[in-house]
Structure 1
Amino acid sequence: MKRLKSVILSVTLLAGAASACASPHATGSTSAPAPPRATQSAPEPPTGAAKPDPAVPPCSLIPPKALAAAAGTAPVEGKPLPNGYCDYRMSSGSLTVAVDHETGKVRHQAARENYQSATTVTGIGDDAFLSPADHRCSVLEGNTQVLLTLFVQEGTFDKACTELMRTAVQHL
């Protein structure tokens, strides 16, 4: 009986140790954490994404009425996110705004080079582009980059993003 208890205790301890080692959060674990699940929540910063800058709150760049006019939806208020971005949730899409004053020029150029569908938009800021395939557009004013991630109804992206970039530059 004593030997049986010893065996059961040993098996229990080994099973516990094995499950702890299999956890991606265990110290010394060599297994990779599970990839993040795809959601329509605020996107992770893409290559060329703006670094948050508290000097210009991203939610101050796109007034609700301007977003409504550009996206063809009811006005919605932007919600500041913990990562420093601003998130707008519309009935038929979303917008995330990121601003970078420190390395904006470098990030804007990196985004332009990495987004394969990047198309130049003239007459907005010092440089601007749309990337419909990536749902992103970026405008550079001086060293300040405003990066917009926009999901709207099909066929409205180019016009909506162009209007939103104009609005953002006016509010810088």
Structure 2
Amino acid sequence: MKQFDFKNNMKNYIVLIMYLFVGFSVTTAQTYSSDTDEDTELSNQELIQKNILQYANLSDFGIKTQKNLRNETIEGNSVFITQIGELNAAAINVKSEASEIKLVQDGDQNFAGLDYVVKTVITEIQQKGNRNTVFDIINNEFADISLDLEQQGNDLNFQRLGSNSLTESLQFVQTQASPSLIIRSKTYGNPDN
């Protein structure tokens, strides 16, 4: 009768278990997907059409996006600036068929920005506090842009850069609860890019 060799059999069991673990992890890690970046990448317009990103998503954050009807009736170009406090700044450059821009800065060291090349623009900004920034550049000569922003508090920031059909009209109040809000909708001459 053959004697049981515990030491050699134990080595065989350990080697077998190691092969099972390594083999199982290699086979599960080798999943193949035929999807390419071209298949899964969607343009902003396709996302809107598929209702993946809806207007309601922005309203969850307190941002309203209804189109401002005044863009259709506005005539002429006007800028109104009221600054109360020290070291406030505003550098507003607008190239449009019609515009109405109102900026009220009540506090110290507030900065506005704004640099529009659009069809029409209506902007009303109120900064109540210190060291608040806006910075809103949209470069789309076919866009009707609207911004109604009230910043209540200190060290608040907002940036937009471009726009599309979702972000061409924004209305919101910014407080310490949302100190920084950045919207970077790409625009290259087409409002739905």
The structure having more radius of gyration, on CA atoms, is 2
Q: Which of the two has greater strand per residue?
A: 2
Question: Could you say which structure has the greater relative contact order, defined with CA pairs below 8 angstroms and 6 or more residues apart?
Answer: 1
Q: Which of the two has greater helix per residue?
A: 1
